[in-house]
């Protein structure tokens, strides 16, 4: 494609028009447009293009991500796009494909001819890039249906910042259920509910409550990792951000993915405004939550509200009111799953599985004796204690081998 025609095609992007503001595509466009100016303007734009190319390392991957993370008229009608939209998408892809065929030498040679400036030959160079994996609108639509699209295609895990911004977690926790031995019944309940959610069937909000160190948070993250390939995402937010729920709902409403909003270590004072806000968002508010979103929360408290002896004093009516207030939030979670401190047998079972996974070969009697001693010195038996014990044993084995 001639560079003058390519310039016009870039300005006329339609379905993928949002990509015009992509820094790399913008730099390509500015450089091509500068061919109608002068040598100094071209050199300035060309240098900025080289900076973009070098910073992204692979222009093919950079453009692929730009298309993947875009939301456009094709994604808005992804299940039944019109022939007009598919044709326009094809033309946009031809334009982006032509950009990828450009290398530095082609641009510099064109500029040398136009400006009679041989000095341009000494500018930095860059190679052409591989083509995109889709060549027309139909193939792009298939890609979107298979891989998803938009902002949430960037990661499997996201966090909510204090200003309400949702940011991708670049290196999310990769823990898998196979790394969390024990609590089989509890994990099966969560898996069954999550599969129903992914299948578009009725699914419950879940409250995981129980003692610290029993693996509640790790289990939620591991379940997300199990089904990330099916488009399951997790948005982790602090309980203090509960009032930001409407913004979260608006962001996820148009997304093709399914989301677990994860509230870790949930606990409230009775006067906490977030307590009433969360009740309304779960059930009873005017604005319902999207069908592609469920809430999974963890807490050390069954009723989520810090109680005092004063709450249980007074006449029968006031005591009943206080108790109903305490349970009014937890009762809105359709599924409550208890993670209790493991007994001796379950604790040692967890120790055995972790030792096997980490190739720690100690006689069972010795391993169990050391594990029990370790639990007594720490905070008692728990999966966390078991993992800490195994880590200590591995460190000692390494020191003995050094």
Burial 93-116 (b: 16+ CB within 10 A, else e): bebbbbbbebebeebbebbbebbe
The 10s digit of each residue's pLDDT in 319-375 is: 444 445 556 666 778 899 999 999 999 999 999 999 999 999 899 999 999 999 999
For the chain, 402 residues long, give each residue's pLDDT as a single digit of tens. Answer: 899 999 999 999 999 999 999 999 999 999 999 999 999 999 999 999 999 999 998 999 999 999 999 999 999 999 999 999 999 999 999 999 999 999 999 999 999 999 998 999 999 999 999 999 999 999 999 999 999 999 999 999 999 998 889 999 988 999 999 999 999 999 999 999 999 999 999 999 999 999 888 999 999 999 999 999 999 999 999 888 888 888 888 889 889 999 999 999 887 666 566 777 777 677 654 455 788 999 999 988 765 555 544 454 554 544 444 445 556 666 778 899 999 999 999 999 999 999 999 999 899 999 999 999 999 998 799 999 999 999 999 998 877 775
């Amino acid at each position: 494609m001639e560079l003058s025609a390519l310039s016009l095609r870039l300005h006329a992007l339609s379905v993928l028009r949002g990509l015009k503001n992509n820094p790399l595509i913008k730099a390509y466009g500015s450089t091509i447009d500068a061919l109608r100016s002068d040598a100094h303007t071209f050199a300035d734009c060309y240098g900025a293009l080289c900076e973009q190319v070098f910073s992204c390392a692979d222009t093919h991957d950079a453009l692929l991500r730009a298309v993947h993370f875009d939301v456009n008229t094709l994604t808005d009608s992804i299940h039944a796009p019109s022939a007009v939209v598919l044709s326009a998408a094809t033309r946009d892809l031809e334009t982006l494909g032509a950009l990828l065929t450009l290398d530095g030498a082609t641009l510099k040679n064109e500029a040398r001819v136009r400006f009679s400036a041989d000095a341009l030959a000494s500018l930095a160079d860059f190679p052409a890039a591989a083509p995109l994996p889709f060549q027309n609108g139909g193939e792009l639509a298939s890609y979107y249906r298979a891989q998803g699209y938009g902002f949430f295609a960037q990661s499997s895990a996201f966090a909510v910042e204090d200003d309400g911004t949702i940011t991708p977690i670049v290196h999310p926790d990769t823990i898998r259920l196979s790394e969390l031995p024990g609590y089989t019944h509890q994990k099966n309940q969560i898996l069954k509910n999550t599969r129903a959610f992914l299948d578009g069937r009725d699914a419950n909000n879940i409250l995981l409550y129980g003692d610290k160190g029993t693996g509640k948070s790790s289990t939620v993250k591991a379940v997300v990792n199990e089904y990330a390939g099916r488009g399951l995402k997790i948005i982790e937010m602090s309980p203090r951000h509960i009032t930001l729920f409407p913004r979260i709902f608006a962001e996820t409403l148009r997304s093709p993915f399914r989301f677990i909003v994860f509230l870790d270590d949930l606990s409230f004072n009775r006067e906490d405004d977030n307590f009433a806000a969360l009740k309304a968002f779960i059930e009873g508010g005017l604005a319902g939550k999207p069908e592609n979103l469920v809430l999974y929360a963890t807490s050390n408290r069954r009723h989520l509200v810090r109680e005092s002896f004063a709450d249980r004093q007074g006449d029968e009516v006031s005591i009943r009111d206080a108790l109903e207030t305490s349970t009014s939030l937890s009762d809105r979670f359709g599924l409550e799953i208890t993670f209790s401190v493991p007994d001796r047998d379950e604790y040692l079972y967890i120790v055995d599985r972790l030792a096997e996974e980490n190739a720690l070969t100690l006689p069972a009697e010795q391993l169990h004796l050391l594990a029990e001693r370790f639990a007594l010195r720490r905070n008692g038996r728990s999966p966390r204690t078991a993992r800490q014990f195994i880590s200590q044993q591995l460190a000692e084995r390494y020191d003995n081998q050094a």
